Amino acid sequence: MTPAETPHTDLSATSDLGRFLVRRPAALIGLTLLVLQILAIIFAPVLSTHDPMQANALRSLQPPSWENWLGTDVSGMDIYSRIIYATRINLLISVTAVGAAFIVGVPIGLLVGYYRGWASNLTMRVFDFVQSFPVFVMGMALVSVMGQEIWNVAIALGVLFTPVFARLIRAETLSLRERSFIAAAKCSGATDIKILFRHILPNALSPAIVQISISIGMAILLTAGLSFIGAGVRMPTPEWGLMVSTGSQQMILGIWWVSFFPGLAIILSVLSFALIADAARDFIDPRRAR
């Protein structure tokens, strides 16, 4: 490809993506929700109206008003500001965990799929052991052992998601290693490293790329769930699941806003990544018409 052709190719890819989004409103909604979350992460100090960890006993459980747009919780902390800052915490944990699982799981899946032997079998049995536990229970156990810190929650979730990416890449590698172009590469004298990372990996990544968005949504739910039961992030750190837990005891008294708005934030965040994952699958799949 000559340098003169590169801008044209980039423009064509951009216009192709634009047409794809126009034809799929759900993908556009998911992308819009993701952009809003990114803006909340970057501009949290500007968008918030109060200190998210400043308690005020005199304004405990105040309903939504001009001063506190989404009301206050039992400690008098502003719910709107805490939701904005919680976006940082929830997405930091989720993206870090899934990113680490992707970085670790993809090479492992590539190796155990290409090489056969006792090491590959042992690796898959370890993954079977990890995945044999209910995800939520395993997450609780790991966080309990390591401690209720933000990075410990991320590490625990990373451990849980690593087998997912490893299995996806392994399945693709097992299929690709028998293809004729791999045999041709071997005949031409290509080393195993070159075959793995130049020929197999680029062709095996599509399912894992789609899985990233799905896993981030699942990680957000797990993070919120662990915090809800007291096994995740601790007070007074702003976190959606923890905020829902704090307000759940007042729901029976008609004080709905303490849990409702953080719960809505969880729903919209998970929905955005689900819609993006669905759109990414359609866009990457070469069998689907653009």
**What are the pLDDT digits (tens) for 83-110?**
999 999 999 999 999 999 999 999 999 9
**pLDDT for the residue numbered 151:** 83
In the predicted model, is pLDDT for residue 7 greater than 80? Answer: no
Distance CA 133, CA 131 (A): 5
In the predicted model, is pLDDT for residue 3 greater than 50? Answer: no
In the predicted model, is pLDDT for residue 112 greater than 80? Answer: yes
3-state secondary structure of 78: strand
In the predicted model, is pLDDT for residue 45 greater than 80? Answer: yes
3-state secondary structure of 263: helix
In the predicted model, is pLDDT for residue 4 greater than 50? Answer: no
Query: Confidence class of residue 6 from pLDDT cuts 50, 70 and 90?
Result: very low
Distance CA 90, CA 186 (A): 45
User: What is the per-residue DSSP string for 135-189?
Assistant: HHHHHHHHHHHH-S-HHHHHHHHHHHHHHHHHHHHHHHHHHHTTSHHHHHHHHTT
Domains of the chain: 33-284 (1.10.3720.10)
Query: Confidence class of residue 228 from pLDDT cuts 50, 70 and 90?
Result: confident
**pLDDT for the residue numbered 180:** 85
**pLDDT for the residue numbered 227:** 86
Q: What percent of the chain has pLDDT over 90?
A: 40
In the predicted model, is pLDDT for residue 8 greater than 60? Answer: no
Q: Which of 34, 8, 17 shows the shortest CA–CA distance to 216?
A: 34
**pLDDT for the residue numbered 10:** 52
